[in-house]
Chains A and B, each alone.
Chain A
């Protein structure tokens, strides 16, 4: 009997010690996960509806540099409906670590003109989105509606105001606006009232969009073009309401002229070290092989310095995984920067 009691006490001691050790380790592991950044400077991470494994790794590792995550969860559907993705557990897990959730609403089938054409449909869509964002537990929304038809652009601020009325006061509405750098792009973008849009929302300036003769828009933009675009935008909207989106990816052109996106990691392998270091004049990106271009670390560094000097509200990045590690070390994205 005595031996039995001693054995039982010994087993209990071992079990208790193991439990304490496991609890300590679990606590330490929880403490090791970074929290999202806080502060005035906004850093928005755009992602796919379901981020890939490389993207998830990048987001999780660099969460301390990010203040909000914007997954492409929403899309305008037929008859005023809105298609959605609801169960991306990873994005939600980042929200539990302090990142704001700002789902992106896209318009792949070009239905925005139907929404904007009538007051009733605008208000219905705004009400619909208000309910959905509440149900998704989101802190706001990003409207990435593509090129709005010229005849409906004047109604866009009204739609954003309708949406503002449907959302809690602290919710954020971000509107992606086209880059305007000169007379030609001003004509193309005629009707976008940046000042009126910036009242109920924050503008996300697409900091890329060079045109290739045969393949259309691609992510590469010269520093000069970048500065011109930023200058125009800040002349028409307060800097506290402007976030600039940077392309953390590159592009390759196939023989048939089709442009395909590639990550920096993929394209850096094709670019020469000299090309990656080069950052003079108009050529701000590195040539990768014979048919590809990619934003180099130096290129992005210069653009981020421009943004820092301009005191804009923040930066937006596409996070697909494969971004250069250098970008996360830039001062503007450093977790300590405010």
Chain B
């Protein structure tokens, strides 16, 4: 009897010792495979350790510096998606362009080595208005949405490399999804680090039904109502409310003036994602009354420098493809500069 009791006690202890690490498995799986879990675990990690600030070999740095085709009086604008080592989004969406943290850091080190100078929307607006000039090799770094990974991963890297960046926040997003979006306090802390807070959307970060089971971006298409499309005046009122509300939401967070708008999904009616060709002109006209600058994703295949003479409400951004290595991104930007820098303005 005593022997049986001993065996049972040993077995119980053995089982207990194995059960402890096994009980951690569900939490590990949650933190590794679930979108919400990834963000929460990242928040915990960032309390103790910052992200990798990237590396660049002296040879690469020298090559970027010597071969970079400098420019003046022009602007490159880059649009980054999420900065996470694994995507928090399932399926293909415009925001699913998540770039690994180290790749992001390496990209920024490449920009620094090549001699790019980051600027703010305020500088860009003054340049467009003819009140100021931009530094040589000006580049605007932008992040849409005000995502949590922007605050946890991108911001420390931008700060560590002494760069400036801009976040286009979605009004009300933190209230609806506090795990995925930065809080107002977090966004203000970004501003204190030198970031610029600008407007992205309120309801505009969504889609509308256009009939027959189809949906199109909120700001670029007339909504179907009761079998017919909303009237142009109704569309105009709807989108104008969004521009107004998005600006007000950003102004509640930012201390500096909110002067720029970035169209959700880059959609404002100028491409195929519309059911009425008039929506582009309406959107541009309304945005122009409230913002000094407007950013879209037009012409990814033919991306070129923005010039002072261009429309400040139609500044195109190059989406940074997460599959591009720093060298490939460098060459992509060189292509844009070589194609569009005006002869005679002199290279930096």
Chain A contact residues, CB within 8 Å of chain B: 77, 79-87, 120-121, 124-125, 128-129, 131-132, 134-137
Contacts and interface: CB of A to CB of B under 8 A. Distances in A.
A125 B342 CA distance: 10
B136 to A, nearest CB: 17
Nearest to A123: B343
A128 B301 contact: no
A120 B344 CA distance: 9
A81 B300 contact: no
Nearest to A130: B338
Nearest to B304: A81
Contact of B301 (A85, A132, A136): A85
Contacts of B337: 131
A135 B335 contact: yes
A134 B302 CA distance: 16
Interface of B is mostly: helix
A80 B343 CA distance: 6
B339 A81 contact: yes
A135 B338 CA distance: 9
Given A87-B300, A132-B334, A137-B331, 9 more contacts: A80-B343, A80-B344, A81-B341, A86-B302, A86-B303, A131-B338, A134-B331, A135-B334, A136-B335
Contacts of A124: 343-344
Nearest to A125: B343
Interface in B296-348: 300-304, 331-332, 334-335, 337-344
Interface string B233-253: 000000000000000000000
Interface bracket on B = 10 to 19
Contacts of B69: 131
A135 B331 contact: yes
Contact of B302 (A83, A125, A128, A132): A83
14 contacts: A77-B340, A79-B343, A80-B342, A82-B339, A85-B301, A87-B300, A87-B301, A121-B343, A124-B343, A125-B343, A131-B337, A134-B334, A135-B334, A135-B335
Interface of B: 69, 300-304, 331-332, 334-335, 337-344
B343 A132 contact: no
Given A135-B332, A135-B334, A85 B340 contact: no
B304 to A, nearest CB: 8
Nearest to A84: B339
A79 B302 contact: no
B338 A132 contact: yes
A132 B335 contact: yes
A125 to B, nearest CB: 7
A91 to B, nearest CB: 12
A265 B339 CA distance: 37
Interface centre among B303, B304, B337, B338 (most CB of A within 10 A): B338
Nearest to A79: B342
Contacts of B341: 81, 128
B335 to A, nearest CB: 4
B335 A128 contact: no
B302 A84 contact: yes
Q: Which 4 A-B pairs have the closest CB atoms?
A: A80-B343, A135-B335, A131-B338, A135-B331
A81 B340 CA distance: 5
A81 B302 contact: no
Contacts of A82: 338-339
Contacts of B301: 85-87
